[in-house]
């Protein structure tokens, strides 16, 4: 069997025999009238938090749960640099975490300057947590490994810093994913760079991430 490249988080999905993309959608943009035929995640992004009341978010999520390809809640999280009220971000984040726990869905996390608060939530989490666009250093990475997180690496590996390289090298391979997010980067480029950083052959990396994907979602 030919092992595909897995793009765990992208706003520009490409699905073929060679690539499986998990399309990241803003919850408010999901077309509930039509089934989505490829894997996707959806949530209220922290940037949009103040546009929606908790009751609206609950209704949208409950309507979406019937979609068979809805495999993860995300991206959701906390962002101290955006204009959305931070307390409202927390309220919606908590609501979406509760939904994920109830329906046993992994959660894809967006985190900007909010690790202190997020770490508290991660300690309580009862579902798998994927940290998307992960680019932090070694010390934080150690803490997050101890909390059982998954790590999704993106375009930052194409211009990697020494501290990020050190962090990647301690990430357990069974918690590793790769992504393109909203960039124009090719997922194959990202795989190639991560294979060099980890010392794995490209085929070994593909097999490992495909195994992680099947184990976590199916």
Model pLDDT, residue 43 = 98
Model pLDDT, residue 77 = 97
Model pLDDT, residue 218 = 84
- Would the pLDDT of 202 be above 80? yes
Across all residues in the chain, what is the average pLDDT?
Answer: 95
Question: Of 134, 146, 140, which Cα lies nearest the Cα of 194?
Answer: 134
Q: Left if phi > 0, otherwise alpha if psi is -120 to 50, otherwise beta: which for 15?
A: beta
Model pLDDT, residue 36 = 86
- Would the pLDDT of 25 be above 90? yes
- Would the pLDDT of 33 be above 80? no
CA distances (Å), 197 to each of 46, 83, 137, 161, in order? Answer: 31, 36, 15, 11
Model pLDDT, residue 35 = 78
Greatest Cα pair distance, the chain, in angstroms, is: 48
- Give the CATH number for residue 73: 3.20.20.140
Residue 77 contacts residue 93 (beta carbons within 8 Å): yes
> Could you tell me which residue, 150 or 66, shows the higher pLDDT?
150
**How many domains would you assign to the chain?**
1
Mean pLDDT of 12-25: 94
Question: Of 154, 98, 152, 151, which Cα lies nearest the Cα of 127?
Answer: 98
- Would the pLDDT of 34 be above 80? no
pLDDT digits (tens, 9 = 90+) for 59-117: 999 999 989 999 999 999 999 999 999 999 999 999 999 999 999 999 999 999 999 99
Q: How many residues are recorded in the chain?
A: 218
pLDDT digits (tens, 9 = 90+) for 119-146: 999 999 999 999 999 999 999 999 999 9
Which two three-digit tokens encode residue 149? 């997180």
Q: Give the domain range for residue 146.
A: 5-217
Return the ∠ at Cα 30 (arms to 25 and 33), rounded to 5°. Answer: 155
Write the CB contacts of 44 (distance below 8 Å, at least 6 apart in sequence): 26, 27, 28, 52, 57, 76, 92, 96
Question: Of 62, 52, 73, which Cα lies nearest the Cα of 128?
Answer: 73
- Looking at the chain, list the stretches that DSSP marks H as alpha helix, in order from N- to C-terminal side: 54-64, 86-103, 115-124, 138-146, 162-170, 187-198, 202-217
When pLDDT is cut at 50, 70 and 90, the band that residue 23 belongs to is very high
Residue 118 contacts residue 77 (beta carbons within 8 Å): yes
Cα 60 off chain centre by: 20
């Amino acid at each position: 069997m030919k092992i595909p490249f897995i793009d765990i988080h992208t706003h520009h999905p490409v699905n073929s025999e060679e690539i499986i993309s998990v399309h990241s959608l803003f919850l408010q943009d999901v077309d509930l009238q039509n089934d989505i035929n490829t894997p996707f995640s959806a949530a209220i992004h922290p940037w949009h938090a103040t546009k929606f009341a908790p009751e609206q978010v609950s209704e949208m999520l409950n309507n979406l749960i019937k979609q068979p390809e809805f495999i993860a809640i995300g991206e959701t999280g906390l962002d101290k640099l955006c204009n959305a009220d931070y307390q409202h971000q927390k309220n919606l984040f908590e609501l979406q975490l509760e939904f994920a726990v109830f329906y046993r869905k992994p959660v894809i996390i967006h985190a900007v300057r909010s690790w202190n608060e997020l770490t508290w939530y991660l300690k309580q989490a009862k579902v798998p947590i994927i940290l998307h666009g992960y680019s932090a250093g070694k010390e934080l990475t150690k803490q997050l490994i101890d909390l059982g997180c998954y790590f999704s690496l993106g375009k930052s590996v194409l211009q990697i810093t020494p501290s990020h390289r050190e962090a990647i090298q301690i990430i357990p391979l069974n918690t590793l994913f790769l992504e393109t997010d909203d960039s124009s980067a090719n997922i194959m480029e990202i795989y190639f760079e991560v294979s060099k950083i980890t010392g794995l052959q490209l085929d070994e990396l593909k097999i490992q991430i495909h195994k992680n994907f099947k184990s976590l979602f199916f």
